A and B are shown apart, each in its own frame.
Chain A
């Protein structure tokens, strides 16, 4: 493009190259997701050092904490392997590396599949390639956009750490270790986008890859004899870079090589195949199956079936493992004062089996809240793609349609919650722990009032502001979830902290179920849903 003997090329460059236009478009399309992740990364990175310093101000308290946690398998399962718990940096590296690395993996998959397979399925890739842009350049342009998004996440973490009081250099390296996960999973997402014929299958393949690599890390972190497995998962590489705990920057070679290999592989696949197809053939013809077609709700279940099965499978696997791990949590050698200090970190009496399970179910609440957002997002997608117009031109009422979608979402949420309870019980039972089955089902059911509240709020957002609704719904969930942590760290008054619904969840099974707050949450959610129905009945349908 820089050939000066070509006057038209120079002119085109002055207006911006086609590859630049594609890169900017991809970056713009991803901006809401990028900002949401950046917000999450910045807040989470800030909370860790501040919270640790707040809870363990003295060396003695840190030593006691490290002794208590050094061998806690349950926490390693959730947060990864702690290399050093005596310093603010070491603690932060442990917490961030464990949790945000998973979010970074999800970000990488989404960031690659949306502009690659998503655009191709929508026919936009064809349009781009019909212009003056080759496959390789358009592919590289998309990768450049993902790199820019990754840089923003890195910057968000850096800002969080530095404001939280960590040194610049170590913070930059820790942020680099965590965000090194993004390009590797973007590479996996790129391969999945070449292999899968549809966006949905590509996302499922990518999600499965995240699950497998997470499972590898969990095994490596919890079983000392299998610690070498850490070298076989990008999530483990982030741990092995050991930020703040004897940094090993050489390990960075692994994600770099893996990324290059994956991206070249995806490019090769992209160069060979027909646009609009995947390496896997799409099944274009099928014998008709007439099940689940009797109503819009039944058909919604039919359409969502694959995703629901994937959710159920992941919830079952993780809940089962959590149940197994809960057995090895023991509080026998924990001094009382340490337990009190743990409570300040918002993790309660985590060092008993039931306490640990209660704590873990708090995360299931978050997962279910994200699930209901996805469900309402699915309803919006029907409208966005104008299929709702087709449906409502039939003798199908709007109230009936939206009520059906909300009930399907509520039912699926309840099923997942109970499944989580049952699978945890099964996991605990296999190791001989004696947690009553009914109590674990109760722990599952205890997740529901908050999830239902967000279902109602998401429905309301959908009725009022359909185009922005999905972003609003996820945003409310994330703000609410982090509200409590940030609020208590900043010493906010209790009433302010209590504004988030997450503050009103009883830690079942350690605590008993709180009927009054649960009833209030459910009542608000029903009111929101009723308001959503009334408002949706009165507005115009709104396409993309």
Chain B
């Protein structure tokens, strides 16, 4: 059974389109990274998944249960961390844990105590006396210690320091190891890269790209840096390859075609060094947003199709043909 399945999930707030035609499937045990800039619709998606807001169109299911019609049954298998910690200011951390544990059921108290230590939280402090990062820890500990089948995490590390962010990554990987499903909404790309199996990229309410990190990389251009003994040669145009001249004796090739053609073209030239690297998630991500605002001249020069399809939704491998 799928942990999350949405079909044509759409939310409009009066005239604003917050989410449009989202078809998303997250399998059980999968760690799914949900990327998008501020205002892209990440939080809206999670509110719809939790049945806090009602879809304008379409539906969302958690473990086969409709998110809007059966929220209570669905939430028994879900733990949620909101992007902002909204807790009861007069209660201490320990009291908050107890309250949420009693409402959720199935909390692993021993694991919770170990999490309190690892996140270095003082549970005797009242929520109002905690900084934002520390309040975020309270939420994270409460959610992780439920050992829920599905963790819905909305920018869970906002406000955490880098050390605590590492602790979070460890915990997320432990949860993954136990077979828990994680839906991680974020705009911290290194975090998504470190823990996620599959990634979806959201822009202006539409899912514009989706796949495993390897697939996304495969679909994107590799960067090949070449340096020469002497001035760089002028290469004949190769379809699917863009050429830049960062220095007189160097070339940078953005290769979205077969690498064989590049090797053929370089043969016979005095190559000194040749390095090839995959695009980082950041480059993939920025690529989507850069092309969203205005198509860059490099891309049109390569003769490629426009990067972002206007139908939104189920965009797959049509971008680089």
Q: Which of B54, B71, B76, B123 contacts A288 (CB 8 A)?
A: B123
State whether the Cβ of A296 lies closer than 8 Å to any Cβ in chain B: yes
- In the assembled complex, the Cα of A295 lies from the Cα of B94 at a distance in Å of 16
Closest to B54 in A: A540
0/1 interface trace, chain B 221-252, chain A, CB 8 Å (1 if under):
00000000000000000000000000000000
- In the assembled complex, the Cα of A385 lies from the Cα of B89 at a distance in Å of 11
State whether the Cβ of A132 lies closer than 8 Å to any Cβ in chain B: no
Q: Which of A293, A392, A395 contacts B95 (CB 8 A)?
A: A293
Residue of A294, A385, A392, A539 with highest tally of chain B CB at under 10 A: A392
Q: B110-130: which have CB < 8 Å to A?
A: 122-126, 128-129
- In the assembled complex, the Cα of A393 lies from the Cα of B87 at a distance in Å of 13
Known: A389-B82, A390-B87, A392-B50. A299 touches B94 (CB 8 A): no
State whether the Cβ of A335 lies closer than 8 Å to any Cβ in chain B: no
The residues of A that contact B274 with a CB separation of less than 8 Å are none
Interface-facing stretch out of A64-72, A278-286, A525-533: A278-286
State whether the Cβ of A127 lies closer than 8 Å to any Cβ in chain B: no
Residue pair A393, B125 in contact (C-beta under 8 Å): no
State whether the Cβ of B75 lies closer than 8 Å to any Cβ in chain A: yes
Least CB distance from B129 to A in Å reads: 4
Residue of A287, A385, A387, A390 with highest tally of chain B CB at under 10 A: A390
Least CB distance from A474 to B in Å reads: 25
Residue pair B54, A285 in contact (C-beta under 8 Å): no
Q: Which of B51, B52, B88 contacts A387 (CB 8 A)?
A: B88
Residue pair A541, B102 in contact (C-beta under 8 Å): no
Residue pair B75, A285 in contact (C-beta under 8 Å): no
Residue pair A397, B72 in contact (C-beta under 8 Å): yes
State whether the Cβ of A495 lies closer than 8 Å to any Cβ in chain B: no
Residue pair A299, B99 in contact (C-beta under 8 Å): yes
Least CB distance from B105 to A in Å reads: 7
Q: Which of A198, A287, A395 contacts B76 (CB 8 A)?
A: A395
- In the assembled complex, the Cα of A272 lies from the Cα of B251 at a distance in Å of 65
Closest to B126 in A: A284
State whether the Cβ of A60 lies closer than 8 Å to any Cβ in chain B: no
The residues of B that contact A539 with a CB separation of less than 8 Å are 54
Residue pair B92, A286 in contact (C-beta under 8 Å): yes
Least CB distance from A528 to B in Å reads: 22
User: What range describes how many residues of A lie at the interface?
Assistant: 20 to 34
0/1 interface trace, chain A 374-400, chain B, CB 8 Å (1 if under):
000000000001110111111111101
- In the assembled complex, the Cα of A298 lies from the Cα of B52 at a distance in Å of 22
Number of interface residues of B (CB under 8 A): 38
Q: Which of A287, A295, A386, A395 contacts B72 (CB 8 A)?
A: A395
Least CB distance from B308 to A in Å reads: 29
The residues of B that contact A395 with a CB separation of less than 8 Å are 72-73, 75-76, 103-105
The residues of A that contact B105 with a CB separation of less than 8 Å are 395
- In the assembled complex, the Cα of A284 lies from the Cα of B90 at a distance in Å of 9
Residue pair A288, B87 in contact (C-beta under 8 Å): no
- In the assembled complex, the Cα of A303 lies from the Cα of B99 at a distance in Å of 12
State whether the Cβ of B305 lies closer than 8 Å to any Cβ in chain A: no
Q: Which of B52, B54, B88, B122 contacts A393 (CB 8 A)?
A: B52
Residue pair A285, B87 in contact (C-beta under 8 Å): no
- In the assembled complex, the Cα of A198 lies from the Cα of B127 at a distance in Å of 13
State whether the Cβ of B53 lies closer than 8 Å to any Cβ in chain A: yes
Residue pair A396, B124 in contact (C-beta under 8 Å): no
Residue pair B92, A393 in contact (C-beta under 8 Å): no
Residue pair A288, B86 in contact (C-beta under 8 Å): no
The residues of A that contact B47 with a CB separation of less than 8 Å are 389, 540-541
Residue pair A285, B92 in contact (C-beta under 8 Å): yes
- In the assembled complex, the Cα of A187 lies from the Cα of B280 at a distance in Å of 61
Q: A267-312: which have CB < 8 Å to B?
A: 282-290, 293-296, 299, 303
State whether the Cβ of A538 lies closer than 8 Å to any Cβ in chain B: yes
State whether the Cβ of B283 lies closer than 8 Å to any Cβ in chain A: no
- In the assembled complex, the Cα of A396 lies from the Cα of B75 at a distance in Å of 8
- In the assembled complex, the Cα of A282 lies from the Cα of B123 at a distance in Å of 17
Residue pair A284, B103 in contact (C-beta under 8 Å): no
Closest to A543 in B: B86
Closest to A198 in B: B128
Residue pair B52, A392 in contact (C-beta under 8 Å): yes
Closest to B103 in A: A394
Residue pair A294, B102 in contact (C-beta under 8 Å): yes
- In the assembled complex, the Cα of A286 lies from the Cα of B98 at a distance in Å of 15
Residue pair A385, B86 in contact (C-beta under 8 Å): yes
State whether the Cβ of B168 lies closer than 8 Å to any Cβ in chain A: no
State whether the Cβ of B201 lies closer than 8 Å to any Cβ in chain A: no
Residue pair A390, B123 in contact (C-beta under 8 Å): no
The residues of B that contact A282 with a CB separation of less than 8 Å are 128-129
Least CB distance from B238 to A in Å reads: 52
State whether the Cβ of B286 lies closer than 8 Å to any Cβ in chain A: no
- In the assembled complex, the Cα of A400 lies from the Cα of B72 at a distance in Å of 10
Q: B32-58: which have CB < 8 Å to A?
A: 47, 50-54
Least CB distance from B51 to A in Å reads: 8
State whether the Cβ of B84 lies closer than 8 Å to any Cβ in chain A: yes
Least CB distance from B145 to A in Å reads: 13
Residue pair B122, A285 in contact (C-beta under 8 Å): yes
Closest to B81 in A: A393
The residues of A that contact B183 with a CB separation of less than 8 Å are none
Residue pair B53, A540 in contact (C-beta under 8 Å): yes
Q: Which of B53, B99, B124 contacts A541 (CB 8 A)?
A: B53
State whether the Cβ of B26 lies closer than 8 Å to any Cβ in chain A: no
Q: B50-81: which have CB < 8 Å to A?
A: 50-54, 71-73, 75-76, 78, 80
The residues of A that contact B87 with a CB separation of less than 8 Å are 387, 390
Q: B235-287: which have CB < 8 Å to A?
A: none
- In the assembled complex, the Cα of A293 lies from the Cα of B78 at a distance in Å of 20
The residues of B that contact A541 with a CB separation of less than 8 Å are 47, 52-53
- In the assembled complex, the Cα of A283 lies from the Cα of B127 at a distance in Å of 11
Closest to A288 in B: B94
Q: Which of A303, A392, A540 contacts B88 (CB 8 A)?
A: A303
Least CB distance from A208 to B in Å reads: 19
- In the assembled complex, the Cα of A283 lies from the Cα of B126 at a distance in Å of 8
Closest to B97 in A: A288
Least CB distance from A280 to B in Å reads: 14
Residue of B47, B51, B82, B90 with highest tally of chain A CB at under 10 A: B90
- In the assembled complex, the Cα of A289 lies from the Cα of B95 at a distance in Å of 7
Residue pair A386, B123 in contact (C-beta under 8 Å): no
- In the assembled complex, the Cα of A430 lies from the Cα of B124 at a distance in Å of 47
0/1 interface trace, chain B 115-152, chain A, CB 8 Å (1 if under):
00000001111101100000000010000000000001
- In the assembled complex, the Cα of A244 lies from the Cα of B282 at a distance in Å of 79
Closest to A306 in B: B90
State whether the Cβ of B17 lies closer than 8 Å to any Cβ in chain A: no
Q: Which of A290, A386, A397, A400 contacts B82 (CB 8 A)?
A: A386
Nearest 3 Cβ contacts at the A-B interface: A284-B129, A393-B80, A288-B94
Binding site for A on B (CB under 8 A): 47, 50-54, 71-73, 75-76, 78, 80, 82, 84, 86-88, 90, 92, 94-95, 98-100, 102-105, 122-126, 128-129, 139, 152
* A to B CB contacts below 8 Å, 13 in the list: A282-B128, A283-B126, A288-B94, A293-B98, A293-B102, A299-B99, A387-B86, A391-B103, A393-B78, A395-B76, A395-B105, A396-B75, A541-B52
Additional pairs, 15, CB under 8 Å, beyond known A285-B126, A295-B103, A394-B75 = A282-B129, A284-B129, A288-B98, A288-B123, A288-B124, A385-B86, A389-B47, A390-B87, A393-B52, A393-B80, A394-B80, A395-B104, A400-B72, A538-B54, A540-B52
